[in-house]
Amino acid sequence: MVSPKEGGITRCGPLKLEWGRRTYVMGIVNVTPDSFSGDGLAYDCEVALEQALRFQAEGADIIDVGGESTRPSSTPVDADEEIQRVIPVIRLLSSRLDIPISVDTYKYAVAQEALAAGAAMINDVWGLKHDSTLASLAAREGVPIVLMHNQKDAIYADFFTDVLASLRASVKQALDADVSSENVILDPGFGFGKGPEHNLEILRRLQEFKALGLPILVGTSRKSTVGLVLDLPVEERLEGTAATVALAIANGADIVRVHDVKAMTRVARMSDAIVRGWAGPALHP
């Protein structure tokens, strides 16, 4: 594979993602009672809608709705519970937003219900390692799928080589299931099955993931590595997150997944002006 060409396009609901033109911002809406970042909205659809509308106004390009916390000490939920949490929210958001919705899940049943309710992207934090049939769902529905690197521990034979090999395997699974290559997006999995030193190495070497020839999503927002480096609690990690977002964009990120949409949209715009060249206000809508 080669790096994605300038002008490559992925369609996500009403949004045309033109890779290389600018960085896209994904705003996080957690409908969980136990989000690590303290922003879980549980079952409150109206509050979720208010947050999503605010994110849209602040510049988000995509809203990512998740119903299961991925923090290390969280309790997994079954598909039925996750459906009860996310489907009413996705149905409501899809009727009110002008931007597309992504569903953050690794379960086929949840993803299927979410797409039927109006979602236009699958964000699989297990990169098809938990349920490979998500690939056939994405292929059948013609939607983009984010494949993230994840594993249960932080033990590697050769860290970066292992992560690249795992992502290559996920990509092969997707393509073998007839997902079109323009609908595959990669996420190196900052904070998932990795120690702080691994996460920092991912940001330093992010450009090397371009060898896989696909767009890259990066999610560093409020993560524990930021807290460890700065010795700060989750609610005080805005500046640290901003630094990681700016450097991720400088090193090749195409989408950044964030909690603080207003601030990170500004970081992305400034970073794009430097990295991609500033052509006046038309660079960002």
φ/ψ of residue 252, rounded to 5:
115, 5
CA atoms of 22 and 108, how far apart (whole Å): 31
Give the Å distances, CA to CA, from 213 to 1, 178, 274. 5, 17, 23
pLDDT > 90: percent of the chain: 85
Give the orientation angle of helix 196-204 with respect to helix 159-176, to 10 degrees. 70
Which one of 129, 223, 237, 269 is the catalytic residue?
223
> Worst-scoring range by mean pLDDT, 102-111, 149-158, 235-244?
149-158
Query: Is 266 a catalytic site residue?
Result: no
Query: Is 257 a catalytic site residue?
Result: yes
CATH of 23-275, one of 3.40.470.10, 3.20.20.20, 3.40.720.10, 1.25.40.10: 3.20.20.20
Q: Which residue would you say has higher pLDDT here, 278 or 142?
A: 142
Per-residue pLDDT tens digits for 82-109: 999 999 999 999 999 999 999 999 999 9
Which one of 85, 210, 237, 257 is the catalytic residue?
257
